[in-house]
Structure 1
Amino acid sequence: MTCILATGCTLADRPAAPQAPPVHATRTMAATANPRASQAALTILRQGGSAVDAAIAAQMMLGVVEPQASGLGGGSALLVWDGEHSRLHFYDGLALAPADVPADYAHDAAGHAWPKETVQRSGRVVGVPGTLRTMALLHRRYGRLPWDRLFQDAIGAARDGFALSPYLHLVLTERPELARLPQFAAYFDAAGKPLAVGTMLKDPALAATLALIAREGDAPLYDGILGEHLRRAVDTGPLPGRISRADLSRYRVRERTPLCITAFGRRICSAAPPVAGGLSVLQQLAILDRVGIARYQPGSVQAAHFLLEASRLAEADRRRYAADPDFVPVPTDVLLDPAYLDARARLIAPDHAAATVRPGTIDGRQAMRPASDPMALPATSHIAIRDAAGNAVSFTTTINLNFGSDLVSDGMVLNNAITNFATRPRIDGQVPANAASPGKRPTTTMSPTIVFGPDGQPEIIIGAGGGARIIDSVVQTLVGRLAWGMSIRDAIDQPRIGAQNHAEELERGSAAERLAPMLEAMGHKPKIDIMNAAVQAVVVTPRGLEGWADPHRDGVAMGD
């Protein structure tokens, strides 16, 4: 069937899938948002590749078959578990602001706001992409197979054809204006309608780009012909941007210390700012453990109340304090301190919603900063992989909005990452922590997460794609697994509830929608909406590996 996201397509609109357990395996597992990406990862694992090798192959395939969400023109955030040395690493490969970024990217010189859609789909908001340089760095550190081998499945799909997937079809249906743009015309018929699901598509320009990178590494983008073409593409349209040769050549991946807490009897680690989603995931889990959510039934109004209140508290902190720590001190040690989390949890009443939720009070000037108000809510995708040696990768990747800036260079869809900065450089005379600045990385709600078992080894490798709803989707899934003992399939498939998207939300067309009257009686103001964030996860159990990919999109888990 066909449905339109903007007018109410939900998971309930899709044909019901037969009930089945999660996917099981004994040695390796990959879960991504598209079957061909999962297969590309599994192929590499079968050839003896590492979890990082498989993640690179999956990302290259996603850029072909899921071009609306990620690719070489975007940014990434990864947790990598190095099993040989028993160490967890976090790599920040986000797109960053070029040296020429406007201090006030959303307004003209007189302070008048540009039309939102014009800004979002312009060269003005393209950040220096980080994904390819991140992949190259990780391959040097953790790769086992030759670099060029990791590209072969993606090159073949772009050159020989791939089937238009159901979720890509829905995105195209939501954005019919793309039919008027030559760079996206191949997705539409002569009448401007999206091609049917299953239609075979080819992308020869992207195939050539992937083949070049397979031969020469990341140099063509950061110091060569692909970078020159990208710069020209950015410098076009009514609101052009400027990315210089120096912006590209100087791009560096940042290795940062992961954030970790203890909750539900597990050590849980996630990404650190500017990847702000990790901070919110950890805060919410710690708060929900403290209020005893495990005592309440999944799907109950009491459980929903706690999920919403914890989300509201974490969102307030995220929007006030999260930023690029290379530019602004971010007090993560305070925000995750047990005493601070105890105090935040005590703000949740068991029987009614808080009338107002404010950021926590922290000493110092930063406590006076205004909240950030980014323009865009990213699309994104997530990859979860575990290899035969016990290495693991939790990898969230994005070009921000669906189809990013709507600019394409050599087959690469370019990001609109600058829209993740606050829309004004000053609010009430104060500079938001997440204000735009040259060389700065905007905050993001990406939330790659790894939960460690009692043996100190990865037990759950998880993350999601889907803008601000990523955070609540990851939290709800982990509560389902850790507090309520659900299988990973049942935990992921729960009706969605959250408040990280500027409003309290219940998933349209799901059982959560029926909780609205009871939540309203408690003082909540729930909005019934489409909540299509997609969680991917791999779980290590005493019986082997379990995996599941969210049915909100096209994902599958595959393993051996």
Structure 2
Amino acid sequence: MSKSLRYAIGATSIALLFACAQLQPQGFSYVAPILPEGASGYQAKPGWATAKFSVAAANPLATDAGYQVLKAGGSAVDAAIAVQMVLGLVEPQSSGVGGGAFLLYYGGKSVEAFDGRETAPASADEKLFLDAAGKPIAFSDAVVGGRSVGTPGAVRMLELAHKQHGKVPWAQLFSPAIKLAEDGFAVSPRLATQLKGEQNLRKDPAAAAFFYPNGQPLEVGTILRNPAYAEVLRKIAGEGSRGLLEGSVAQAIVDKVNGHPTNPGKLTIADLSRYEAKKREPICSGYEARTTTGAVHAYRLCGMPPPSSGAITVTQILGMLARTQAHTLPLVAGADPSKGPTPSADFLHLYTEASRLAFADRAQYLADPDFVQAPGGNWSSLIAPAYLDERAKLIATSPDAPSMRIAKPGEPGAMSVSYAPMPEQGEYGTSHISIVDAAGNAVAMTTTIEDVFGARLLTDGGSGKAGGFLLNNELTDFSFAPTDAEGRPIANRVQSLKRPRSSMAPTLVFERAPDGGNGRLVASAGSPGGAMIIHFTAKALYGMFNWGLNAQQAIDLPNFGSLNGPSLLEKDRFDPATVDALRTRGAEVREMEITSGLQAIQKTPTGFFGGADPRREGIVRGD
């Protein structure tokens, strides 16, 4: 284990031995831990076994906040709120109160899906990202500034979840982030690295003054205080989501968005105040995981429905793989033995072919269900066994079979409208949280402001103090082009008050009960990473349930996938012979840095085992 990781784990452990709050009549009381030194680059992690409860998040301080809430008797939802507010402080480039989130909750009987996805302003239309000639503008021109900012939904969604499943008083859950914002925290290696490579954030005067004092990016270990963020959190703690979406903070958001000098947006006070978090029916389906020994285990996978494309696309990929000989293909030695084994070339061929087919359907059909009709009238048509049988037959499985390179969408059901496929465009940031509390209730929550540092707009919430929070650029998840060359509408085009399609894939896994429903909870998982979230999550699930790996080993596997184009492989992880074998099949192969941020917790006979991605600085804590 690296020195930096030992310090991160040890520092929080020592603090908790002496300072962790116990459940008192007055409720939860937060005590700041010793500031940990986070990891950067690739830091091998051991995985963490716990007996009673577990929390996994992308930064040690955020994990610790969730740990203290659980230790004090709080619920999984309580812990998620505390974790999110600290992430917005210590990992502001990825998520926060200025963004949105999807949360899956299991309370012992059923799975609930909470939708906190951002919405387009009421005045937005399909011309939002078109230039004067009616052509889509460049992504870089769209993302920076007010045009890309959607109404943030994470806080109102968390408020809804807390009203139904919270135990600790709402206001108390903000005390960890408020204390850390006021007293300061040590800038982590990942935040420092992101700041050094960022150019557009410096163009915002408030962000430049806060993140680049004296014109230089903050260094690792710098103690950073954020009094403006603390002030905003106090308002939310005292007034609920109204403290963010109404009043002075809301006005500051609108002024920041609409006052951008070169790329103003359309957000209004009415857009913020009317925002509604929604509960939707989760997407759940059976999955038979076959191991290389031939054993079969029946599971149920549950995830977010549209406007997330995550659950449907993950389920399609795994479902099609289950209809091939993929289960007979074990892991093989990789290019770097110290980082463990890798999938074989034959497996990667099958996986990327299934990915192409799934992403073709994603581009054709998936969008906000309040605006777009599901194929055949039901989103489950895309994961129906008969449809997956049909799609899997398109995967050529012989040893010398060529790659299809680019797949076409299928026809899962009759549609009243014929949509055009959405061209692939960039998706970026986010963070993931997995939690299981002492009562066995579970959360899988993926949270985002989209691109790294979002729209590059920092607002102080009207406080006049230093710092604040970043606003999302979530509207760039819509298709910039509203139609194709033939004039057919694209399902994920911009429309008034619509929610953009997402790839976030928070996932809860259960044993399949005899009646086909959910049995015992076996895992909570998810990742940041734009469209690659789907592949990161699918990889971790396949690793745990088909290859029999523990959560950490499954997360450690190299990243791979296809977005219905080239085969994408994590750089320096695959043996050259594996890469050559894929190219021999005609696939275009690109080896590149592919940075996931997986968090996963799995049930074990003695409790839980959690894993955190070695490519980022998260850890797992629990008792």
For normalisation by structure 2, the TM-score amounts to 0.84
Sort the Cα spacing of 1:177 and 1:442 in 2 relative to 1 into closer, same or farther, 3 A: closer
Deviation, 1:16, is 5.0
For the Cα contact (< 8 Å) 2:40–2:616, is it kept in 1?
A: no
Match of 2:345 in 1: 301
Contact kept in structure 1, 2:356 and 2:564, CA below 8 Å? no
3-state SS of the aligned residue for 2:598? strand
- Cα deviation, residue 544, structure 1: 1.2
1:317 aligned onto 2:361: yes
Q: Determine the C-alpha separation between the residues in 2 that align with 1:366 and 1:400.
A: 32
Q: Which moved more, 1:481-490 or 1:351-360?
A: 351-360
Query: Could you say which residue in structure 2 is the equivalent of 1:379?
Result: 429
> In the alignment, does 2:183 pair up with 1:133?
no
> 2: distance between equivalents of 1:104 and 1:502?
27
Q: d(CA) in 1 for partners of 2:371 and 2:74?
A: 37
- Give the Å deviation of 1:365: 4.3
Aligned-pair CA distance for 1:61: 0.4
**Aligned residue runs from structure 1 range 39-438, under 5 A:** 39-83=64-108, 86-185=109-208, 186-188=210-212, 190-192=214-216, 194-237=217-260, 238-263=262-287, 264=289, 265-298=298-331, 299-331=343-375, 332-350=379-397, 351=399, 352=401, 353-365=403-415, 368-373=418-423, 375-409=425-459, 410=461, 411-428=468-485, 429-438=487-496
Which is worse superposed, 202-211 or 105-114? 105-114
3-state SS of paired residue (1:340): helix
1:515: how far off? 2.2
Distance 2:323 2:527 in 1: 24
Gaps of 5+ in 2: 3-38, 290-297, 332-342, 462-467, 514-518
1:188, 1:229 → 2: CA distance? 22
Q: CA deviation at 1:300?
A: 1.0
1:509 equivalent to 2:556? Answer: no
* Distance across 1 between alignment mates of 2:451 and 2:507: 22
Aligned to 1:38: 63
Distance 2:577 2:187 in 1: 34
**Paired position in structure 2 for 1:5:** none
Distance 1:505 1:355, change over 3 A: closer
The verdict on how the C-alpha distance between 1:513 and 1:75 changes in structure 2, with shifts beyond 3 A counting, is farther
Offset of residue 51 of structure 1:
0.2
Distance in 1 between the 2:576 and 2:168 partners? 48
CA displacement 1:100-139 (0-9 Å, x = unmatched): 1132222123314434322111211111110010111111
Bigger CA radius of gyration = 2
Query: Partner of 1:325: helix, strand, or coil?
Result: coil
Distance (Å, rounded) in 2 between the aligned partners of 1:388 and 1:344: 42
CA contact (8 A) 1:468 1:501 kept: no
Looking at structure 2, the residues matched to 240 and 475 of structure 1 have their Cα atoms a distance apart, in angstroms, of 38
**Residues 112 and 355 of structure 1: CA distance in aligned 2, closer, same or farther (over 3 Å):** closer
- Which residue, 504, 521, 546 being the options, matches 1:446? 504
- 1:440-471 Cα shifts (integer Å, max 9, x gaps): 11100000111102561211100101101100
- Equivalence for 1:556: 619
Evaluate the alpha carbon distance shift between residue 555 and residue 96 of structure 1 in structure 2; reply closer, same or farther with a 3 A threshold: same
Letter in 1 for 2:137: W
Deviations 1:329-384 (A, max 9, x none): 12322111100001111111113312441111244346731112364413000000
- Which AA in structure 2 matches 1:130? G
Bigger shift: 514-523 or 528-537? Answer: 514-523
Deviation of the 1:551 alpha carbon = 1.4
Which secondary structure state, in structure 1, belongs to the residue aligned with residue 207 of structure 2?
Answer: helix
Letter in 2 for 1:354: M
Question: What are the ranges of 5 or more consecutive residues in structure 1 without an aligned counterpart?
Answer: 2-11
CA distance in 2, matches of 1:463, 1:95: 19
Matched residue, 1:547: 610
Q: Distance in 1 between matches of 2:440 and 2:497?
A: 36
Q: How big is the shift at 1:179?
A: 3.4
Aligned alpha-carbon RMSD (Å)? 1.9
- What is the CA–CA distance in structure 1 between the aligned matches of 2:68 and 2:159, rounded to whole Å? 20
Q: Tell me, what secondary structure is at the counterpart of 2:433?
A: strand
Q: Which moved more, 1:202-211 or 1:350-359?
A: 350-359
Say whether the 8 Å CA contact 2:192–2:220 is kept in structure 1: yes
Counterparts in 2 of 1:503 and 1:171: CA distance versus 1, 3 Å: farther
Shift of 1:294: 1.9
Question: Is contact 2:523–2:600 with CA below 8 Å preserved after alignment?
Answer: yes
Q: Which moved more, 1:364-373 or 1:152-161?
A: 364-373
Find the residue that maps to 1:468 and give its secondary structure: helix
Partner SS, residue 311 of structure 1: helix
Say if 1:437 and 1:16 are closer, same or farther in 2 by CA, change over 3 A: closer
Q: Is the partner of 2:447 in helix, strand or coil?
A: strand
